[in-house]
Structure 1
Amino acid sequence: MNARFLNKVVLVTGAAQGIGRGVAEALAQEAAKLVLVDRASFLPEVAAEIKAATGLADSDVLTVEADLESWSGAEQMVQAALTQFGRIDVLINNVGGTIWAKPYQHYQPDEIEAEIRRSLMPTLWSCRAVLPTMLAQQGGAIVNVSSIATRGINRIPYSAAKGGVNALTASLAFEHAADGIRVNAVATGGTEAPPRKVPRNPKPLSADEQIWYQQIVDQTIESSLMKRYGSINEQVQAILFLASEQASYITGTVLPVGGGDQG
């Protein structure tokens, strides 16, 4: 077993499903102390399954149910982590994902705002909330999960949100490299994942929305040099690399993991 994260306190947002859960499972295999954050009510079940599979002690895994679209949620998350563990070594910002798939002219103003709240604000709030602790420690690593969809179709508000994540990554790294804080991002490509237990958009897709979503799939595959979607594990391994000391001389970088699609 690798132990790159032995005795490291790692905070994972969006940990209940998809890439976030994959990150949590992989970190548990590498002996991390985990703070798993999500607004899904089944997060404790996920934590129990991870502990059973890896042998982590109850005291090594903390779950926090919080809405990271708000500053209060981010504050709650950090305070809970500090109360349990006293420090935060790594923050992995995984909350986000397009809610709707359609050409920009079909988005309503409230939908545009909802996309920005979903895919930019949790990363902004979480970075701000954890920063004082990492400054006091004079060290830490932040990995933001971005997307190659900054260059794509039928999800312009999501693309803009992830472009903001990329800009945040570069600027925060610049601002705090002297404080021993590394900030990087993984721009995920199309990723095969199990059906979500909590869908981002609970309403069934209309006939037009099904066509527009298929256009996203087709464009994603066509833009990839490998002509396929990636696996959750392929994204997870890139995220863990940037979070680890193996990437100790890398900061301010957005790493595309999209089969050759640079985003």
Structure 2
Amino acid sequence: MIFQDRFKDKVAIVTGAAQGIGKGVAERLAKEGAKVILVDRADIVLQVTEELKTEGFDALAIQADLETFAGFEKVVAETLKAYQKIDILINNVGGTIWAKPFQHYKEDEIIKEINRSLFPTLWGCQSVLQPMIDNKGGVIINVSSIATRSINRVPYAAAKGGVNAITASLAFEQAANNIRVVAIATGGTEAPARIIPRNEKPMSAEEKIWYQEIVDQTRESTLQKKYGQIEDQVNAILFAASDEAKYITGVTIPVSGGDLG
């Protein structure tokens, strides 16, 4: 359901906006009145943004590597140049690259998982704080995961545990500045095949077995025994970012069919 003008005149940055949940969030924000900055390092973010602009929505594409502080500083600078303020940040970048028992991870793989699923959120939160303070408030939504209690993805779990900790601590620290910080812990979510996969190498036969174990465990851990839809995550993220949730901050909300992670 689209709420007309729920985000009218709000300036919202959405990271990982080229596909999946991020794309869904960016599209809905635009349709509900926001000026949307779609951020991704993939070229397809340009196409997604052009489609929104063709429909008459106010959208800006920025390509950046959000695993670096400089990448996020670029996003903030270009957003302020275009719109002079930042009201909302949706930290959506992240996702499991490998799926296997922890003893099979290599050192560089662990580092890449943390860089992918923790640092973009950390840099994002830090980069938007001063603009939000100058703007007398703002909302940060961190997309987390119930995989903090899962199998075959310990480094990813560690990263998302960090996201939850950032959410709680930053909300405590910034409440006096009228900045809310909320995490949405996504459960298993059905989505179209990624146009650009997180892992460029095809899975081996053994890795396919390990990945299927994640799928089976995720379904079994939910009360509803099924995956959700992208729309389920988008609905929760937009609610948390809206004024309807103005008395909610510092918490991680599971959207996972009853799996608390």
Short-chain TM bin: over 0.9
Aligned to 1:55: 56
Q: TM-score, normalised by structure 2?
A: 0.98
Q: 1:252 aligns with which of 246, 250, 253?
A: 250
Q: Distance in 2 between matches of 1:42 and 1:228?
A: 30
Letter in 2 for 1:55: G
1:46 to 2:63 alignment: no
Aligned to 2:25: 23
Q: Distance in 2 between matches of 1:198 and 1:206?
A: 18
Moved more, 41-50 or 252-261: 41-50
SS of equivalent to 1:25: helix
Aligned length: 259
Aligned to 1:10: 12
Letter in 2 for 1:204: P
The CA RMSD over aligned residues, in Å, is 0.7
Aligned to 1:69: 67
Aligned to 2:118: 120
Q: Distance in 1 between matches of 2:70 and 2:56?
A: 32
Q: Distance in 2 between matches of 1:152 and 1:140?
A: 32
SS of equivalent to 1:92: strand
Q: Distance in 1 between matches of 2:171 and 2:136?
A: 13
SS of equivalent to 2:98: coil
CA-CA distance at 1:137 after TM superposition? 1.5
CA-CA distance at 1:50 after TM superposition? 2.4
Letter in 2 for 1:250: I
Spell out, residue by residue over 1:116-175, the C-alpha distance to the aligned partner (whole angstroms, 9 max, x if none).
000000000011010110111120000000000000000000000000000000000000
SS of equivalent to 1:105: helix
> Runs of 5+ in structure 1 lacking a partner?
none
Give the 5 Å matches for 1:60-209: 60-209=58-207
SS of equivalent to 2:239: helix
Aligned to 2:39: 37
Q: Distance in 2 between matches of 1:42 and 1:211?
A: 30
Q: Distance in 1 between matches of 2:30 and 2:127?
A: 24
Spell out, residue by residue over 1:87-123, the C-alpha distance to the aligned partner (whole angstroms, 9 max, x if none).
0000000000000000000000000000000000000
The answer on whether the counterparts of 2:52 and 2:59 sit within 8 Å (CA) in structure 1 is no
CA-CA distance at 1:48 after TM superposition? 1.4
CA-CA distance at 1:41 after TM superposition? 1.1
SS of equivalent to 1:35: strand
SS of equivalent to 1:233: helix
SS of equivalent to 2:60: strand
> Runs of 5+ in structure 2 lacking a partner?
none
Q: Distance in 1 between matches of 2:89 and 2:219?
A: 30
Spell out, residue by residue over 1:41-82, the C-alpha distance to the aligned partner (whole angstroms, 9 max, x if none).
121101112233x421xxx21110000000100100000000
- Deviation beyond 6 Å, 4+ runs, structure 1: none
CA-CA distance at 1:197 after TM superposition? 0.8
Spell out, residue by residue over 1:184-241, the C-alpha distance to the aligned partner (whole angstroms, 9 max, x if none).
0000000000111110001111011000000000000000000110000000000000
Letter in 2 for 1:16: A
Q: Alignment identity in percent?
A: 63
Q: Distance in 1 between matches of 2:19 and 2:65?
A: 15
Q: Distance in 1 between matches of 2:53 and 2:231?
A: 19
SS of equivalent to 1:15: coil
